[in-house]
Amino acid sequence: MRQTDQPVPSDRSTGPVIDEPAAPEVPAPRSSAEAEVPQAGPVVRRNRLAALDGLRFLAALAVVLFHFVGQTPGAMEFVWGRPPGELFPEAHRYFAFGRLGVDLFFLISGFVICMSAWGRTPRDFFISRVTRLYPMYWVAIIVSASVIYLFDTPFGHPNPRMLFANFTMLQTPLGVDNLDSVYWTLWPELCFYLTFAVVVWKGLTYQRVVIFCGLWTVAAVLAPSAGIPLLTLLVNPTSAPFFIAGMAFYLMYRYRPTPLLWGIVAMSWLLALHFLLAPHGGRNNWDTWAPWRGWLIVSTTVFFLLIAAIALGWTTWIRGRWLTVAGTLTFPLYLLHDVIGVTILHRFGDHVDPWTLVLALTGGLIVLSYVVQRLVERPIAQAMRRLLSSAEFGLKAPSVRRH
């Protein structure tokens, strides 16, 4: 497998987007289970948040361009066969910040998953997450594996055993490499769903989400020094602050901003910067990428401010069907771009102008993502949703078959 600017387990800064969150829904009226919540203002009703769709597409696009233009010199030579100084002497260092698109996406994910799970049963939450993640992920594995094994690519021929582990989406806890380096972001998402499902099972309320944010923050702070690998694996300290802040922002959107919610966001912002700037064991691998720290602080702060603007209702003027469509392309684009894109760049990088090739390839991948999402992912997801919706999830034994 190639050695790119992929972070070690303690440094997850280079992986990009990871989940295609459920489409934002209009907040439902407060349930009786929230009767004990101190009045935090009337429930806010708004149309679909087109700004979120646009932001997550931009996050995915930033990651794509990072992989094609902004990786470290060693990784760029792997992709193009030439050092970045010969290809993108000035642009390279700016596109390197595209790796931070994952931070923005985790922020959005915390916001949207909390929104889409509100008022749902655990069964509904399970079905929505499974049908959102697995169909496109399985399609991506089949496509990437076909490219790797059938064509002359720089990826070699990994052990087929890797495929079986990757199909489960549990390769990280199994200690198996990702077939595609971009898959690493799926494990933090799965951990978020797993732990948040406990709150969904009890029923989402203002207090329960706030308590969940507080407990996860404490766990993220303690995990690095606890010396318990399983705890670190489940808590994902370097990713947790973004999910937590996203949930707090959603509570602002659903109710209104309060000092408590701003406190959660501020703490998450500080912890996010701590892990990003840590000299070792944090989110950024300083051995491969060491930009001016001020730009990292500014970038992370801008991400928080963007989601804050959405939570405060400052972006309701942003509308457009095209933004909704762009949002649906995020997950396919993220999962398909790396193996296909790197293979094409490696094959034609010496024959086509670099910028022409990057722009044409990116545009082609966006079109491919649209086709796959419409004609493959969506039908499979709909079929899975029908199957799971009619399935019996209880532990009651089925009736004995009579011969």
CA 311 to chain centre: 19
For residue 284, the one-letter residue type is N
Residues contacting 359, CB < 8 A, separation 6+: none
pLDDT number for residue 90:
85
- N-to-C CA span, the chain: 52
Q: What is the dihedral of CA 26, 61, 308, 208, to 10 degrees?
A: 60
- Rounded Cα gap, residues 277 and 282, in angstroms: 7
pLDDT number for residue 403:
62
| 298-335: pLDDT as tens digits | 999 999 999 999 999 999 999 888 999 999 999 999 99
Q: What would the two tokens of residue 175 be?
A: 């200690």
Q: What are phi and psi of 392, to 5 degrees?
A: -95, 120
Q: What is the dihedral of CA 172, 235, 138, 79, to 10 degrees?
A: -60
CB 145 within 8 A of CB 163: yes
| 115-159: pLDDT as tens digits | 999 999 999 999 999 999 999 999 999 999 999 988 878 888 888
Q: What is the dihedral of CA 97, 99, 104, 109, to 10 degrees?
A: 170
pLDDT number for residue 395:
64
Residue with tokens 């990088």: 349
- Rounded Cα gap, residues 361 and 367, in angstroms: 10
pLDDT in tens, the chain (403 residues): 443 443 333 333 344 344 444 444 444 444 333 333 444 444 444 446 899 999 999 999 999 999 999 988 888 888 888 877 788 888 888 999 999 999 999 999 999 999 999 999 999 999 999 999 999 999 999 999 999 988 878 888 888 889 999 999 999 999 999 999 999 999 999 999 999 999 999 899 999 999 999 999 999 999 888 888 888 889 999 999 999 999 999 999 999 999 999 999 999 999 999 999 998 777 888 888 888 899 999 999 999 999 999 999 999 999 888 999 999 999 999 999 999 999 999 888 888 899 999 999 999 999 999 999 999 999 999 999 999 988 777 667 767 766 6
- Other Cβ atoms within 10 Å of 363 Cβ, number: 10
CB 34 within 8 A of CB 202: no
Q: What are phi and psi of 11, to 5 degrees?
A: -135, 100
The domains of the chain are located at 39-389
- Other Cβ atoms within 10 Å of 356 Cβ, number: 9
